[in-house]
Amino acid sequence: MCTPALAVPLLIGSAAVSGVGAYTQTSAANKAASFNQQVMEQNALDAQQRGAKEESKFRMQLSQLQGRQRASQAASGGLVDAGSGADINEQTQYFGEQDALTIKYNADLEAAGYRNQARLAGAQRRSTALAVGTSLLGSLSPLALKYSGNGKTSSTN
């Protein structure tokens, strides 16, 4: 049986050990979450840059296709800016623009996903800081209960 004089230092020591353990664990979790946040932010930037390059490359290919179409129409004696020749050129431009916008949209979606993951990592980093305080308070609660008058102690316990 532990005497009350010995119980208090043991409770304080237990709380200290729990606090150090929680701090160490939280510190490691914070570092991991911070690293993950940085990686996700970098991935978002990379997705945007890749999307912009892909869109630019596609627009250049679209322009080349339109040039070949116009040259082919002119070489065969057709009207380039009127009638079916103009219709073909307009359709090529319209569908090409839709494809370019899809490329940009997909890159934006990918980047948004990475940004959301970065925000989640940041939230995890902040929430782990609460773990130390919670663990320490939880470890000290028996001591607080004992001295608050709500805890019943007797020498027969």
pLDDT of residue 133: 63
Q: So what's the pLDDT on residue 157?
A: 45
Q: Is residue 99 domain-resident? A: yes
Residue 154 lies in a domain: no
Q: Give the structural domain span for 41.
A: 4-148
Residues 140-157 have pLDDT tens digits of 666 566 666 555 554 444
Neighbouring CB atoms inside 10 A of 37's CB total: 19
Which residue from 26, 25, 37, 32 is spatially nearest to 120, judged by alpha carbons? 37
Phi, psi of 121 (to 5 degrees): -65, -40
157 falls within a domain: no
Please enumerate in sequence order all residues whose Cβ is within 8 A of that of 70, keeping only pairs 6 or more positions apart, or say none: 80, 85, 89
Question: Which of the pair, 22 or 122, is modelled with greater confidence?
Answer: 122
Q: Is residue 24 part of a domain?
A: yes
Between CA 29 and CA 148 the distance in angstroms is: 34
- Does residue 156 lie in a domain region? no
Q: Would you give the DSSP letter of residue 156?
A: T
Average pLDDT, integer, range 133-144: 62
The pLDDT tens digits for 28-87 are 888 888 899 999 999 999 999 999 999 999 999 999 999 999 999 899 888 888 888 899
CB neighbour list of residue 106: distance below 8 Å, 6 or more residues apart: 51
What average pLDDT does the segment 9-23 reach? Answer: 66
Instruction: Judge whether 40 lies within some domain.
Output: yes
Indicate the pLDDT class of residue 116, thresholds 50, 70 and 90: very high
User: Is residue 139 one of the residues assigned to a domain?
Assistant: yes
**If pLDDT is split at 50, 70 and 90, which confidence band does 8 have?**
low
**pTM for this prediction:** 0.66
- The number of domains in the chain is 1
**Does any domain span residue 46?**
yes
